[in-house]
Amino acid sequence: MFTLAVGTLLVALGLAGVRYAPAIVETQRRQGMTPIEDSSIETSDRVAVTKGAGVVVAVVGFVLVAYGVGIV
């Protein structure tokens, strides 16, 4: 049951990360949370990496949900 709850939470967080990646990157830039020498890193690259991290979190969540249900 705990695995199912954690998996569901990770799926939700991962999907939110994918959906709101541009806003997350913009907020990081506004609050100065970007590297000092980030001139070589384009905003589109930062958004792509943020979306990729969200996908990884969502996939881990799906695997945990499948394990919690008994499929895996």
Average pLDDT over residues 49-61: 96
Query: Which of the four pLDDT bands, split at 50, 70 and 90, describes residue 65?
Result: very high
**Numbers of helices and strands, H then E, in the chain:** 3, 0
What is the rounded distance in angstroms from the CA atom of residue 23 to the CA atom of residue 61? 22
Residue 16 CB coordination number (10 Å):
14
What is the pTM (predicted TM-score) of this model?
A: 0.84
